[in-house]
Chains A and B, each alone.
Chain A
């Protein structure tokens, strides 16, 4: 579904991602791990076309993303949930979710009902402004916005960072459910090894912009975590 062949990605002239290759199968769950500043966020931003330029090849369902502008990538079925959530603060919850539908190829503008079954709190706060929600609620809103476009692939950047523990569990369960029950392919950038191990079919460890290690979910041992993820 998503395939990178010796991918490079640049900010200005500095290559942040260097010679990265991977293949992500439809319906799979991939975790991207690594210390701070090794290029995990840049990898997701590269998939959305938000860096200054790329080298190598990047394919989504056979389409060359190197030739696709950012605004055309959403409608192909890539839902991006960025670090820090980046919901629109002065939009109501409703407007934020409707914004997700702008990436639908079929131009429908209704919000699918299952979103409110996943996140009942959003139905309750439908007319509040996004900026007035708590961090956890904003994260739920960011996921809801991506779901409104009916994505085939979800890119999640540290969705549980800075969120109160009782909501962390809830968000993790929703992400698992989206993958296992709705068959949405997930790429998750994560610091939490336990969740990555529980959820992933495969993991990719990045170090200094390169792939340090890959493997299946069960192979993500504590030694690997100690070696590559602790400071």
Chain B
């Protein structure tokens, strides 16, 4: 679960870090990713591994449409983006409910990843091990994109000084649109990959996105490292406390620990230090 959380939170953190937009529709991008995977499997027989690039593109396009259509008009009104993206989330949920129905859907695990491995006395399914490595690869890919490519350099320039970036030929609105699409695409991938673990419903995103927000806050806004560590922490803590007590009490314990952490370290674990 921590790996799924990492991919969801990564998209959320990038969108917030780049544009200051708190994207409450992010959970619905996860849900769209899950339904895309279901669609591709049910009607075309694609295994989710095969559909991943397609799902990424489909959800990224949906993200692009949301950014171009709504979010870009609200960059100077950050509070309104919260409301607007929340509304978009509800619309997306209802559209799926109308189009596909509200029953749970199931997506099969890719057959090559069936089976379990026993490492020291701990049995783990191959699929979960794959998820861990895949999410680390996504993290590394994102890091590479942000720090080693021209697009990443332009994005970081726009984040730090939009006006000057535009004076030097960078089209900030293109950078924003592509960043939003990339974040949405990551959510879509996470949604596709989570399908073998939980059932696919129109409201599945809401549950995941809450945890993703917790991860972003705990990790420190704008920090890839923080997002990575915090998703591990939140995921493991949830599993640990649920094992210790039960699911409900476990949840309570996780939230209490986060409240305590934020009380004493409001900037998160790895805040982005800036010297200007």
Q: Chain A interface (Cβ within 8 Å of chain B)?
A: 48, 50, 69-75, 80, 82, 86, 88-91, 95, 98-100, 102-104, 109, 131-132, 145, 149
Chain B residues with CB under 8 Å of A88's CB are 156-157, 160-161, 164
B246-276 CB contacts (< 8 Å) to partner A: 274-276
A71 to B160: give the CA distance in the assembly, Å: 16
Q: Is the CB of A89 within 8 A of B276?
A: yes
A4 to B66: give the CA distance in the assembly, Å: 40
Distance between A49 CB and nearest chain B CB, rounded to angstroms: 8
Distance between B168 CB and nearest chain A CB, rounded to angstroms: 5
Chain A residues with CB under 8 Å of B163's CB are 50, 70, 86
Q: Contacts A70-B167, A74-B167, A99-B168 known; A90 to B274 CB distance under 8 Å?
A: yes
Q: Contacts A88-B157, A88-B161 known; A71 to B274 CB distance under 8 Å?
A: no
Chain A residues with CB under 8 Å of B172's CB are 71
Distance between B275 CB and nearest chain A CB, rounded to angstroms: 5
A72 to B168: give the CA distance in the assembly, Å: 9
Chain A residues with CB under 8 Å of B167's CB are 48, 50, 70-71, 73-74, 80, 82, 103
Q: Contacts A50-B163, A88-B164 known; A71 to B169 CB distance under 8 Å?
A: yes
Interface size on B, residues (CB 8 A): 20
Q: Is the CB of B169 within 8 A of A149?
A: yes
9 nearest CB pairs, A to B: A103-B169, A74-B169, A70-B166, A103-B168, A102-B169, A71-B166, A80-B167, A71-B171, A86-B164
Interface string of B156-182 (1 = CB under 8 A from A): 110011011111111110000000000
What are 16 A-to-B residue pairs whose CB atoms are below 8 Å?
A: A50-B167, A71-B170, A72-B169, A73-B167, A74-B168, A80-B167, A86-B161, A86-B164, A88-B160, A90-B156, A91-B157, A98-B153, A99-B165, A99-B170, A103-B167, A149-B168
A91 to B203: give the CA distance in the assembly, Å: 41
Which residue of A is nearest B171, CB measured? A71
Contact check: which of B168, B170, B171, B275 meets A89 at CB < 8 Å?
B275
B26 CB within 8 Å of chain A: no
Distance between A216 CB and nearest chain B CB, rounded to angstroms: 30
Distance between A128 CB and nearest chain B CB, rounded to angstroms: 12
Which residue of B is nearest A74, CB measured? B169
A73 to B163: give the CA distance in the assembly, Å: 12
Chain A residues with CB under 8 Å of B153's CB are 91, 95, 98-99
A24 to B55: give the CA distance in the assembly, Å: 55
Tell me how many residue pairs across A and B have CB atoms closer than 8 Å: 67
Chain B residues with CB under 8 Å of A86's CB are 161, 163-164
Q: Chain B interface (Cβ within 8 Å of chain A)?
A: 150, 153-154, 156-157, 160-161, 163-172, 274-276
Chain A residues with CB under 8 Å of B157's CB are 88, 91, 99
Chain A residues with CB under 8 Å of B166's CB are 69-71, 74
A164 to B160: give the CA distance in the assembly, Å: 26
Q: Is the CB of A100 within 8 A of B164?
A: no
A105 to B9: give the CA distance in the assembly, Å: 37
A86 to B123: give the CA distance in the assembly, Å: 55
A178 to B169: give the CA distance in the assembly, Å: 22
Which residue of B is nearest A129, CB measured? B275
Q: Is the CB of A131 within 8 A of B275?
A: yes
Which residue of A is nearest B169, CB measured? A103
Q: Is the CB of B168 within 8 A of A100?
A: yes
Chain B residues with CB under 8 Å of A100's CB are 168
Chain B residues with CB under 8 Å of A95's CB are 153
Which residue of B is nearest A103, CB measured? B169
A107 to B275: give the CA distance in the assembly, Å: 31
Chain A residues with CB under 8 Å of B165's CB are 99
Q: Which of B154, B156, B166 has the most CB of A within 10 A?
A: B166
A99 to B162: give the CA distance in the assembly, Å: 13
Distance between B144 CB and nearest chain A CB, rounded to angstroms: 15
Chain B residues with CB under 8 Å of A131's CB are 275-276
A171 to B197: give the CA distance in the assembly, Å: 63
Chain B residues with CB under 8 Å of A72's CB are 169
Q: Is the CB of B160 within 8 A of A89?
A: yes
Q: Which of A72, A88, A89, A95 has the most CB of B within 10 A?
A: A88
A6 to B172: give the CA distance in the assembly, Å: 30
Q: Is the CB of A89 within 8 A of B274?
A: yes
Q: Is the CB of A102 within 8 A of B168?
A: yes
A16 to B234: give the CA distance in the assembly, Å: 53
Which residue of A is nearest B160, CB measured? A88
Q: Contacts A86-B164, A131-B275 known; A91 to B169 CB distance under 8 Å?
A: no
